[in-house]
Chains A and B, each alone.
Chain A
Amino acid sequence: MIDVNNRSTASAIISRIYKVFLYLLLTLGACAVLLPFFWMLSTSLKLPTQVLADPPKLIPYPITLLNYVEVFERTPFSRFMINSLIVSTLGTTVLLISSTLGGYVFASYRFRGKDIAFWVLVATMMIPPQIFAFPLYLIMRSFNLVDTYLAIAAPIFVMGFGLFLMRQAVSTIPKDLLEAACIDGCSEFRTYWNIVIPILKNAIGALSIYAFFTSWGSLLWPLIVTNSEKHYTLPLGLVMFSKQYTIEYGPMMAACTVTVVPLVILYAIFSRRIVESFALSGMKG
């Protein structure tokens, strides 16, 4: 009996040590994950004289908003922010329309070659944006669309993943429900708009979050298709900063904070849903 007791207390101790070690490691990892954001915020709140202090001061004292004032007064950063909002909203809206329309038709219609027609479009998600972006520039140029909001937002107008997601969502709607609308003599657009769209609420939420974050953060495409400062999006504005001035990290980090904050707010509100929709986009394959 004593022996057994000893052994169980020993294994309890080992498992407790293991637990402590595990959480220590996880906490250390969490610190490493958060360090850059902490350092960004800390730097952005420092006086210019303290930014390069040696050794670095982790907590800024006194706290100042000078860097933020400088970003918004010396540069058209508020303009970049509005541009990002315009581009991301435009892109996401068109994507939602194209995906739900396509999802509805591919899920509820029957015609020859439907599967091939569907998979050709879905397969385009295998093409990395970094590869179609360059030839797409030539196409935009031939349409005379270079340096317009429309062109900056365009690549997000369609997404193989979006189409796939919406077809899945529509196919879960009971056939009877759509047919009932049909018997009532409802026009096709009415069925789509009044019956299908409200049911797709969750899928629409997931897709719009994914599209908005993707579009907000993209750099390569705006870099390619934008010429004038008045159309810069936030990431492009950030890069141009670091090119133009000898790097002043105070204002720079303030600008980064401004870019990141809207996303952090969205994440704080919709965290569960955001994690799910990103995981979904990853598992599409």
Chain B
Amino acid sequence: MTVLSKSLRNRDRFFFGLFVILLLYALFGILRLYPIVLSTGYLGFRNYNLIGTKNSFVGLRNYIQLVHDPSFIRSLKNTIIIAAVTMPVSVVISLSLGLFYSKKCWGSRVFQLIYFIPALMPTTAVALIWKWMYETDGIINYLLSLIGLGAVPWLTNPAIAVWSVVILWVWKWVGYYAIIFMYGLQNIPNMYYEASRIDGASGLQQFSRITLPLLKPTTIVVMVIATTFAFQIFEPVYVLTTGSQGAFLKGVKVIVYDMYTNYFDYWKVGYAAAEGTILFLIIFIVSRIQTLSMRMGKEQ
């Protein structure tokens, strides 16, 4: 090891720290901060296109056009439907699973590990598998026919296709949320339960008076993640609608998909940037509201 004198050592420490901070700001700057500033603060107000033939200030025109753009409105509507359904459904299922996990009953480890698998697997691959299962004469309709139900046009009917996306998304993430709930439940001190048992509280009372209130922060975390994931959804829609046997795009188009189309099919960079800004604001505001409601709960 190199041995340094004290003053040299201080200088070494100073330059090391400086180097690291500059490196981090360079990397985060290029990869995170600058893109978001460029997009929301600059491109969103310009008619910049991908080949660079147009680039002038247009004020709020992109935003005004977006509000009147049927494709955007439809994408927004579909995204909100997906978020509004997947979030509560996933929370209820994963909370029940988390409660089961935390009881440490027989087999709970095995179920944990199994239910977690979809969250780990690449969305593209699992979406392709689901596309194959959703085929009109695919495995799902076959299994339905075994219990006497008729075939469902999972992909070909635009009104149903959005539910196919919802099922896929809930399937993918509940195991993940359940683990978060399990860790949240483990953080509730056991003494609360012991004290209430002495007071003669029933299981149901314990659940509603102790578990639910103390689990609120965890619930909020899961709600925020589930909402954010739903608003960001892209891969399943892209995969399910691609190819000749794909779903009818109009029924399932989502915001990120619409952005992608505006960017690379129509080259409308400024327009897509405005769209991205709106999406960012929605995600930000929704998660803010959810977090604030947690804080208000704490003060009570």
Query: A-side interface residues toward B, CB under 8 Å?
Result: 22-23, 26, 29-30, 32-37, 39-40, 43, 52, 54-56, 98, 101-102, 104-105, 109, 111, 117, 120-121, 124, 126-132, 134-139, 154-155, 157-158, 160, 163, 182, 184-190, 192, 194, 213, 216-217, 219-220, 223-224, 234-235, 238-239, 242-243, 246-247, 249, 252-253, 256, 259-260, 263, 267, 271, 274-275, 278-279, 282-283, 285
A248 to chain B, nearest CB (A): 11
B196 CB–A CB distance under 8 Å: no
Closest residue of chain A to B225 (Cβ to Cβ) is A282
Q: Add 9 more A-B contacts to A30-B115, A158-B32, A242-B242 (CB < 8 A).
A: A23-B107, A36-B129, A36-B133, A124-B33, A126-B284, A135-B34, A154-B31, A216-B122, A285-B224
User: Could you show 29 A-B contacts with beta carbons less than 8 Å apart?
Assistant: A26-B111, A33-B175, A35-B133, A35-B139, A39-B129, A56-B142, A101-B23, A102-B20, A105-B16, A105-B21, A111-B17, A132-B35, A132-B36, A134-B273, A135-B38, A155-B31, A158-B32, A187-B2, A188-B13, A190-B1, A190-B2, A217-B121, A219-B234, A253-B132, A256-B129, A259-B124, A275-B179, A279-B176, A279-B182
> Across the interface, which residues of A come within 8 angstroms of B113, CB to CB?
271, 275
B273 touches A135 (CB 8 A): yes
A127 touches B1 (CB 8 A): no
A133–B290 Cα distance when bound, in Å, is: 26
B86-114 interface code vs A (CB 8 A; 1 in, 0 out): 00000000000000100000010001111
> Across the interface, which residues of A come within 8 angstroms of B180, CB to CB?
279, 282-283
B248 CB–A CB distance under 8 Å: no
> Across the interface, which residues of B come within 8 angstroms of A271, CB to CB?
113
A154–B34 Cα distance when bound, in Å, is: 14
B107 to chain A, nearest CB (A): 7
Task: Enumerate the 9 nearest inter-chain pairs by beta-carbon distance, A residue then B residue, closest first.
Answer: A217-B122, A188-B16, A235-B124, A135-B35, A135-B39, A185-B3, A124-B32, A132-B35, A105-B20
> Across the interface, which residues of B come within 8 angstroms of A194, CB to CB?
1
B100 touches A243 (CB 8 A): no
B249 CB–A CB distance under 8 Å: no
B100 touches A275 (CB 8 A): no
Closest residue of chain B to A125 (Cβ to Cβ) is B32
Closest residue of chain A to B279 (Cβ to Cβ) is A131
B81 CB–A CB distance under 8 Å: no
B66 CB–A CB distance under 8 Å: no
Closest residue of chain A to B140 (Cβ to Cβ) is A35
B119 to chain A, nearest CB (A): 7
A196–B118 Cα distance when bound, in Å, is: 35
A246–B128 Cα distance when bound, in Å, is: 14
> Across the interface, which residues of B come within 8 angstroms of A139, CB to CB?
30, 34-35, 38
Query: B-side interface residues toward A, CB under 8 Å?
Result: 1-5, 9, 12-13, 16-17, 20-21, 23-25, 27-28, 30-36, 38-39, 43, 100, 107, 111-126, 128-133, 137-139, 142, 171, 175-177, 179-180, 182-183, 218, 221-222, 224-225, 228, 231-232, 234-235, 238-239, 242-245, 256, 259-260, 263-264, 269, 272-273, 276, 279-280, 283-284, 287, 291
> Across the interface, which residues of B come within 8 angstroms of A129, CB to CB?
232
B79 to chain A, nearest CB (A): 11
B276 touches A109 (CB 8 A): no
A83–B124 Cα distance when bound, in Å, is: 16
Main secondary structure of the interface of A (DSSP, over half): helix
Known: A26-B111, A187-B2, A275-B116. A55 touches B142 (CB 8 A): yes
A128 touches B39 (CB 8 A): no
Known: A39-B133, A185-B3. A136 touches B31 (CB 8 A): yes
> Across the interface, which residues of B come within 8 angstroms of A36, CB to CB?
118, 126, 129-130, 133, 171
Known: A188-B13, A279-B183, A282-B221. A132 touches B32 (CB 8 A): yes
> Across the interface, which residues of A come within 8 angstroms of B179, CB to CB?
275, 278-279, 282
A252–B125 Cα distance when bound, in Å, is: 10
Residue of A56, A130, A189, A253 near B256 (CB, 8 A) is A130
A285–B217 Cα distance when bound, in Å, is: 10
